[in-house]
A and B are shown apart, each in its own frame.
Chain A
């Protein structure tokens, strides 16, 4: 699977560009590049449902982020202890990477998942549910309760944004009087 490694390196480069570029619009575009790299890797890894969803979500995210940053120019402040903080963060990340690497060594190797639970889905979906898209069947039949939670999370985010966008948070005395009239 050399292609997936190459794609990952491509995504990493795009991600580094996204966080290091000075111009905000360019960095948002770089995130888009990383996201489309991700879509292609999903296709390579045989997850077409996910590729479609990620593609569409990516576009929506990009539009929101681009519109948010399009008129904004930013000076980047570098505080006095820039070097110290960066070194501390780097050391922390290095420790995290080493621990993560050791943990990865004990996982089943790439390409050979255990699939203890999933055998059930592969057997049941066509036989009992009569659906042909297994991922859809898992999302909306076997684990539909998860999807309810996920729909609720979306709903909560939408209501939350509407709440945050209110022009006036608190009612003043005049507002109350107007209301009672």
Chain B
């Protein structure tokens, strides 16, 4: 239970950065940390005590393996998060080029 709770704290650390920081790169870092926490959650939910990794090897009895499905889901989630992060960095750099800053309090063409 402690393990799950620590993972939830990690998620909150990332969420804090997204909600509170006023710098685009810091917000992206917050999002990345949130994604770490979620991937770790998936793997923790699938872990079986004293389990084996989900790989067969020749000439060996199959004993208790950890849950392979969350690992597959986390793989998908990692790649999708990479895609969103890359897109965000692209937008952020383009904004830096136009405005000369990463500070979102100074980027205020739009109101409301």
- Which residues of A pack against B, CB within 8 Å? 1, 4-5, 8-9, 11-12, 15-16, 18-19, 24, 27-28, 31, 34-35, 38, 41-42, 45-50, 53-54, 57, 60-61, 64-65, 68-69, 72, 74-77, 79, 85-86, 89-90, 92-93, 96-97, 100-101, 104-105, 107, 109-113, 115, 117-118, 121-122, 125-126, 132-135, 138-139, 143, 146-147, 150, 153-154, 156-158, 160-161, 164-165
Contact = CB atoms under 8 A, between A and B. Distances in A.
A31 B93 CA distance: 19
A132 B13 contact: no
B43 A160 contact: no
Give chain A's interface secondary structure class: helix
Contacts of A147: 76
B14 A89 contact: no
A17 to B, nearest CB: 10
A64 B86 contact: yes
Nearest to A108: B45
Interface of B: 1-10, 12-17, 19-23, 25-26, 28-30, 32-33, 36, 39-40, 43-49, 51-57, 62, 65-69, 71-72, 74-76, 78-80, 82-87, 89-94, 96, 101-103, 105-106
Contacts of A157: 83-84, 86-87
Contacts of A113: 45-48, 67
Nearest to B105: A77
A45 B26 contact: no
Nearest to A133: B55
A110 B69 contact: no
Given A65-B25, A165-B90, A153 B80 contact: yes
